[in-house]
Structure 1
Amino acid sequence: MTLSSRSLLPLLCATVTLHVVAAPMPLSAYLALEGPAPGATYAYGPAPSQYAELFVPSGPGPFPVAVLVHGGCWTKQYGGITQLRNMAGALRARGIAVWNVEYRRVDEAGGGYPGTYQDINAALDLLAARAPASKLDLQRIVAVGHSAGGQLVQWIAGRNRIAASSPLYQAQPLPIRSVVSLGGLADLRSEQALIKSSCERDLVDLTGVPSATRPDVFSDTNAAELMPNGSHTLLVTGELDTVSPPRVAHDYAARARKAGDRAEVVILPGASHYDEVAATSAAWPTVLEVIESALQSARH
C-alpha cells in the first residue's frame, strides 16, 4: 500500500511498513547521483566547507523549507552535498525550497567536536537571516538528514536543551521541530559499536573529551540525551540498510516516545541505505510523502 500525506499525520507511536518494490542501490550508484545546480550559494564561515546551497521554486512564495544535511560517516570520503542535489531538485519541483548544508567533517581542519555542530548552528542562523529576501516560510520547515546527517538533524531538534556552559549553546536557535532521519545514526551513546563497524569512526571525534565543566561528552552531542524537546521525528530506513539497520530506527523511536516526544518508523521494503536519498529510486515516492507530511505537521 501507499500512505498519503494526510494519513501519515495521525500515526503517532506507529510503525509503518510500505510495500514498495525496489532494487537496492549500491554505494557506487549513490556516489554517481547528481542534480541541478543551486540557485545561489551562501558562505556562513571562512572555511571551504562552510556554505549552504539554496534551491527556490518558481512562483511568488513564501515557500516551505527543507533543510538537507548529507551523510558520509562524518568524513569527506563518501560524498555528501553534491549527491543531495538529486533530492533537492526533486523537492524544488514540488514547490519546496531547499537549504542544502555543507559542513566541516572530522577529517577537515576545525571539524568534529565542536566545529561540525557549530557549523550546523551557523548555517541555520544564515537561513533565518536569508529567509525574508528569499521568500521562505520558516513556519513550515523540516530538517532532513541522511546517515551521519540524520544524527545532526536529530540533534538540531534538541538544541534548545543544551546547557549554556557548552560551546554548542545558542540562546535563541531557529526552532525546527519536524525531523526526517533517513538511515540516521543518531544515538551516539547507544550505537557506539555500530558507528565503529559501519563508519570506522571513534566517537571522540564527534563528542570531544570529558572536562571538569563537561564530564558527560554526550550531554550536548547526543540527540537522545536532548529529549523531550517537542519534536516530531520520522525515522525512514531501508529494509536492507546495513549501515543503520531498521533496529536503530525502532530503538530511537521507542526512546523518543518514552521521553514524551512523537516518533514514527517507516521501513522501505527492498531499499538500501542509499535508496533512502535517491529521487531516482523506487523508494522516493514514499520518502517524498514523509517529507511533505512532516511539513504539514510543522506548521505552527
Structure 2
Amino acid sequence: MTLLTIGRVVLGVVGCLLAGALVVVVLGSFVPRTPVVGFLGSFVSGQYPLHAALGAVVGVVAGAGLLALGAIRTGVVVTVVAVLAVVGTLTVLGAQRATARAEGVTVDWGLTLTALDQSGASPDETVEYQPGLHLDLYLPPGPGPHPVMVWVFGGSWVRGTTADRARANRWYADHGLAVAAVQYRLPADPALPGSTLGEAQRHDVARAIAWVRGPGTARGLDPGAVVLGGQSAGATLALSTAAALSGTAGASLPGGATTGPPVATVAFYPVVDMRQVAPGLQDAVFGGPTAQHQGLTRAASPGDLVDPRLPPTLLVLGAADNFIRADLVRAFDAQLRAAGVPGRLLQVPYADHVFDHPYGSPGAQVARPAVLAFAREHTRSDVDPSGR
C-alpha cells in the first residue's frame, strides 16, 4: 500500500467521522426537538459553539485534502457537509453575539475557546450554617455590607456540589456581589423528621438565607439585600422556597418560615412543573409518584405558585433547552408577568441545558452581567454590572 493510498484512507476516515459529527451538531442545533440528535446538537451549540465552528473549518480543509488526493466522492461529501456546517455554526455564533450586544456585552472569544469548565476558583470561607451542612462564601473586597446571592446548585435533586459554579461565583464577588453557595440535603442524607426530601431541601435553603441574615452579617453580608438564585433543580428549589417565604398559597416549609423572602430571585432553566420529571426523581423527592402526593407536588412546582407577592424574578434559559422544556419556562415567565411580578426572561439562542457550565461560553458571558444588573436594581447596591 502506497503512502498516497494510506493518506487517502486515513484522511477519509477522519473526514467522514468529522462530517458525521457536524451533521449531528448542525441538525440538532436547528431542529432541537429531534430525538437524541437535538439534545446533542443544542448541547454543543450552547456550550462549545466556537469549537464547533472551528471543527467545521477543519472539515473543509479535510475535504479539500481528499479532493487533492483524488478521493473525489468522499472529498465532495465531506466538503459539502463541512461548508454547510460552517454556515450553520456561524449562524449560531452570530445569534449569540447579537444577544450579547443587545445585553451590552462584548463576548471574549478567547475565553470561549479556553474556559471550558468552572475550575480555577475557590471560596474565601466555608462555614457550617446548620448541623451537617455547609455553605461556601465568595466575598467582595472591602468591609461591606455587601449584597449577597444565596446560590443553590443543580443536580436533579439527588446530586451536585457547591463548587459547580465556583468560577462564576468568584466573578460575581469580584464585581461586588457576595455569593453563599449552599449545600443541601441529598438522598444519602436523612430528611427532617416528618418531611420528604424535597421539603427538607427547601428548609435547608431557607435556613441558609436565615444564616446570611444572622451570623453572615459578621462577614460583611447585607441582611436587607439577599438575592436567591440557582440553576436547574436548584432554580426550582429557589423559586419554591421564595414562594413559601412570601406566603404563597400551597407553598410550604417544614416548621414554617424561618426568615423573610429574598428581595429578588434568579432562576437558570428551572423545572416549573414537577409532574414532568422522571418517575425515579418523583420517588426520590416526594417518596412516590406525584399523582399520589398532589400537595407536595404543588409546593415544589413553581408554575403552581405564581402569586403577586413573589419577589422580582429573573429567568435565564437556553432557548433550545430539551431537558426542562423551554416552552414551559416561557409560559411560566408569562404567568409571572401577568400576575404583576417584576422581572424578565433572558434567552440564549440555540442553547440547551447547563449552557453556562463552561465559564467562557457565550451564554455564560451574557448571563453573568445580566444577573449582576438585576441584583443591582433590586438591592439598590453599588454592584458593578459592566465587568466580564
How would you bin the TM-score normalised by the shorter chain? 0.7 to 0.9
Q: How far apart, in 1, do the equivalents of 2:355 and 2:340 lie?
A: 30
Instruction: Count residues with an aligned counterpart.
Output: 268
Partner SS state of residue 356, structure 2? helix
* Cα 1:39–1:115 shift into 2, 3 Å: same
Once the two structures are TM-superposed, the CA of residue 122 in structure 1 deviates from its matched residue by 1.6
Paired position in structure 2 for 1:95: 176
Once the two structures are TM-superposed, the CA of residue 187 in structure 1 deviates from its matched residue by 2.7
Provide Cα deviations, 1:162-200, integer angstroms capped at 9, x if missing partner: 679955353452321411111111332xxx23x22xxx6
Provide Cα deviations, 1:130-171, integer angstroms capped at 9, x if missing partner: 232111123333222110011011112212326799553534
* Cα 1:80–1:3 shift into 2, 3 Å: farther
Residue 298 of structure 2 contacts residue 304 of structure 2 at CA under 8 Å; is this kept in 1?
yes
- Which deviates more, 52-61 or 154-163? 154-163
After TM superposition, list the pairs within 5 Å mapping 1:35-114 onto structure 2: 35-47=120-132, 50-76=133-159, 79-110=160-191, 112-114=197-199
Counterpart check, 1:136 vs 2:243: no
Paired position in structure 2 for 1:12: none
TM-score by length of 2: 0.61
Select which of 297, 302, 310 maps to 1:230: 310
| Greater RCO, 1 or 2 (C-alpha within 8 Å, sep 6+) | 1
Residue 150 of structure 2 contacts residue 227 of structure 2 at CA under 8 Å; is this kept in 1?
yes
Partner SS state of residue 295, structure 2? coil
Unaligned runs of 5+ residues in structure 1 are 6-17
Instruction: Report % sequence identity.
Output: 23
Paired position in structure 1 for 2:40: none
Once the two structures are TM-superposed, the CA of residue 121 in structure 1 deviates from its matched residue by 1.7
* Cα 1:187–1:280 shift into 2, 3 Å: same
* Cα 1:56–1:218 shift into 2, 3 Å: same
Q: How far apart, in 2, do the equivalents of 1:167 and 1:60 lie?
A: 33
Unaligned runs of 5+ residues in structure 2 are 1-97, 381-388
State the AA in 2 paired with 1:108: D
Residue 142 of structure 1 contacts residue 294 of structure 1 at CA under 8 Å; is this kept in 2?
no
Counterpart check, 1:250 vs 2:330: yes
Paired position in structure 2 for 1:293: 373
Q: How far apart, in 2, do the equivalents of 1:85 and 1:21 lie?
A: 19
Q: How far apart, in 2, do the equivalents of 1:158 and 1:134 lie?
A: 27
Residue 162 of structure 1 contacts residue 220 of structure 1 at CA under 8 Å; is this kept in 2?
no
Residue 207 of structure 1 contacts residue 218 of structure 1 at CA under 8 Å; is this kept in 2?
yes
Once the two structures are TM-superposed, the CA of residue 92 in structure 1 deviates from its matched residue by 1.4
Select which of 249, 262, 280 maps to 1:176: 262
Partner SS state of residue 67, structure 1? strand
State the AA in 1 paired with 2:351: A
Q: How far apart, in 2, do the equivalents of 1:246 and 1:19 lie?
A: 26
Q: How far apart, in 2, do the equivalents of 1:93 and 1:73 lie?
A: 29
Q: How far apart, in 2, do the equivalents of 1:218 and 1:253 lie?
A: 20
Cα RMSD for the two superposed structures: 3.1
Select which of 200, 218, 227 maps to 2:297: 218
Provide Cα deviations, 1:240-298, integer angstroms capped at 9, x if missing partner: 32212321220111222233323422111233322234432222231112211221232
* Cα 1:145–1:167 shift into 2, 3 Å: closer
Residue 272 of structure 2 contacts residue 329 of structure 2 at CA under 8 Å; is this kept in 1?
no
State the AA in 1 paired with 2:265: V
- Which deviates more, 280-289 or 157-166? 157-166
* Cα 1:166–1:145 shift into 2, 3 Å: closer
**Max radius of gyration: which structure?**
2
Paired position in structure 2 for 1:145: 230
Residue 202 of structure 2 contacts residue 253 of structure 2 at CA under 8 Å; is this kept in 1?
no
Q: How far apart, in 2, do the equivalents of 1:62 and 1:124 lie?
A: 16
Select which of 267, 271, 280 maps to 2:351: 271
TM-score by length of 1: 0.77
Residue 162 of structure 1 contacts residue 169 of structure 1 at CA under 8 Å; is this kept in 2?
no
Moved over 6 A (4+): 18-22
Partner SS state of residue 361, structure 2? coil
* Cα 1:146–1:215 shift into 2, 3 Å: closer
Residue 251 of structure 2 contacts residue 299 of structure 2 at CA under 8 Å; is this kept in 1?
no
Paired position in structure 1 for 2:282: 203
- Which deviates more, 152-161 or 273-282? 273-282
Q: Tell me which protein shows more helix as a share of its residues.
A: 2
